[in-house]
Amino acid sequence: MTYDKLSIGVEPLGDISDLDTYYENIDQDLCQDFVILPVINGSPEKSSLIYDPNTPFSLKDTVFKTSKNTYRVIAGLGNLKGDGKDWSYEMVERNSAWIKKQLTYVSYQGCTGVLLPEIESYSGSIVSLGQLVLLVLSDAELMVEILIRVRVAGTEEDIEKKWQLWHRVRTVFLEVEDVDLENIDMWSRWFAEPVACLSIPTTLFLQNSNGYPVLRPTVQRLLQQWMDYNVAIIVSEKKENTCQTNNAQLSDYVKYVRHLHHKLPKKSQDEILANTHRDYLQAPLQPLMNNLGSVTYEVFEQDSHKYIQYEEVWLEKNNAEIWGNQVKLVYADMREWSPPEKAHILASELLGSFGDNELSPECLDGAQSCLRSDGVCIPQEYTSYIAPISSSKLYSSIEAHGSEKYAETPYVVRFHEANRVAPTKSAWSFSHPISPDILEKSKREGSPNKHNQRHCSVNFSTSKSAVIHGIAGYFESSLYKDVRISIVPETHSCGMFSWFPIYFPLKTPLSIVPGSKVVVSIWRRSSNAKVWHEWLVEVFSNPVSKQGDGHPGLLISSSGIHNVGGSSFWIGL
């Protein structure tokens, strides 16, 4: 099994006067998919008529003589007037007209997309650029993808500033330079953004003993990691190349990138199956309300690790004499069934992505009457974990539904284009069997499920700027003694894929900066007929108080409580 097809482009140096001639002369063996070329041929200052929105481009102005190869082009737009620092509204409109003239032309020619100049050139007034992009995007007839170049270079502080600029515009063409490429944490937040292209300048390449360009191992690993996100890879030719040799042509760089793609390890069948669900929003299962189809169980049964762990418990706690050669199936609600003899073991597979979200507590409480006083429950204990998470893709998927209800519904998701902005922390736990006194007390108080309600408020510290789009939820469970299963990222059971994490979305994303304190609050509530979760995220500018004095610091933003009273989603009892 190979990875998805890799798209590779080049950004050559020097002026190219004719696109068709360029493609006739390039090395056909390098399998180049596209090229980045300027819309304007040569200096944009050569004719004042070029900027006139009412004067069409002439053939001598552009590299596009025909439309034969334009589908293989990302068009670089010509420079704007002014530096963005003192743009008046008239200047914004003038630049907007200049960009729209180019966009209309490349859209007509059938180009793949367009590339705005580097974001740093607008640092004086990024708002002006944002305003300009909005004006351009308001034209529904322009059917091209708009990218803006973000050059990742310099210190970690420099990169932090670049991310802040990008966050205020939000279309990205990511260019990598010689930064700390081993700092995966620095890169992780970019994986949650809609990165379309990753540009690798030729200055990052070294020369091997045969005189050909190669990348050092840290850059190789980073590039291969990005390949798994299906971004286009661009080799950007620079004057100050490190491969100072006559042998190294632009085609050699492209072939080397292809070589790295072919070296990616083959995916296992488990990975292939799990990857079909990447960033796909699924409603959590409701086993007490719905009959699950055979396809669902077939997926479960392919998870060998889960069954190995369950089998290990059986081997320790049972022997052949208990089972004999007969198994009798009883079709009944476990909470109401009265067995002829109480059991030594009560085993269940009702753990959900958040541990309790498929009503494992309620089901095992009800079935506990079938268990001997010295009996054992499997699982014995499970703990829910949470972390704030960033994912532009998941936010966009929910927003596309156009209804607030979808933003107040939890989903089961295999996260891919997502990033936890802080490590996971525990929320709450359940253990079984519970004391009969606790069950009796809840019944006497007229709320039989009161003891299964939970609440937590968990503090998270952040060291980088990010946008919180929701809360990621996980679980870890002790099946019996030291036999454990986990989907928590830090302790994930290797090879297990039956459970994907749960995702509690936010209706409105919350921005954070380095030093922000994030407080995530979740409630597990219940009535006699249903169970539901409510959630809230708050961002504070100062460290959260540990004295419990009711003054956590300066509140910057709050998501508001979601799914109050189970208004949008609940799990039926």
Judge contact between 90 and 43, C-beta under 8 A: no
Catalytically annotated residue among 358, 362, 476, 538: 358
The pTM for the full model equals 0.79
pLDDT (0 to 100) of residue 315: 45
Instruction: Give residues with Cβ within 8 angstroms of 261, minimum separation 6.
Output: 3, 6, 224, 227
User: Residue 254 has what DSSP assignment?
Assistant: H
User: Binding site annotation covers 316?
Assistant: yes
Size (the chain), residues: 573
User: Binding site annotation covers 297?
Assistant: yes
Strands 145-152 and 172-176: parallel
Judge contact between 127 and 429, C-beta under 8 A: no
Specify burial of residue 129 (Cβ count, 10 A radius: 0-12, 13-18, 19+).
buried
Rounded CA gap, 483 and 147, in Å? 50
Judge contact between 511 and 557, C-beta under 8 A: yes
pLDDT (0 to 100) of residue 259: 92
Rounded CA gap, 515 and 493, in Å? 32
Running along the chain, 573 residues long, what does each successive block of 10 average in pLDDT? 69 79 68 82 58 77 81 82 62 76 84 76 57 62 73 74 68 60 70 85 87 88 88 85 63 91 83 80 75 57 67 53 64 84 88 93 91 92 97 92 92 93 96 90 83 95 90 96 93 85 96 91 94 96 56 83 95 88
Annotated catalytic residue 160: no
Q: Tell me the per-residue pLDDT of 113-150, one tens digit each, with 9 for 90 and over.
A: 888 777 565 544 556 666 666 666 666 466 677 787 77
pLDDT (0 to 100) of residue 108: 83
pLDDT (0 to 100) of residue 457: 96
User: Binding site annotation covers 334?
Assistant: yes
Annotated catalytic residue 358: yes
Q: Tell me the per-residue pLDDT of 84-116, one tens digit each, with 9 for 90 and over.
A: 555 666 776 777 778 778 888 888 888 888 887
Rounded CA gap, 337 and 394, in Å? 42
User: Binding site annotation covers 306?
Assistant: yes
Structure tokens at 365: 């409480």
Rounded CA gap, 128 and 86, in Å? 9
Burial 254-288 (b: 16+ CB within 10 A, else e): bbbbbebbeeeeeeeeeeeebbebbeebeebbebb
Q: Tell me the per-residue pLDDT of 322-375, one tens digit each, with 9 for 90 and over.
A: 555 667 778 888 888 888 899 898 988 889 999 999 999 999 998 998 999 999
Rounded CA gap, 295 and 285, in Å? 13
User: Binding site annotation covers 303?
Assistant: no
Structure tokens at 186: 């620095």
Catalytically annotated residue among 237, 349, 381, 399: 349
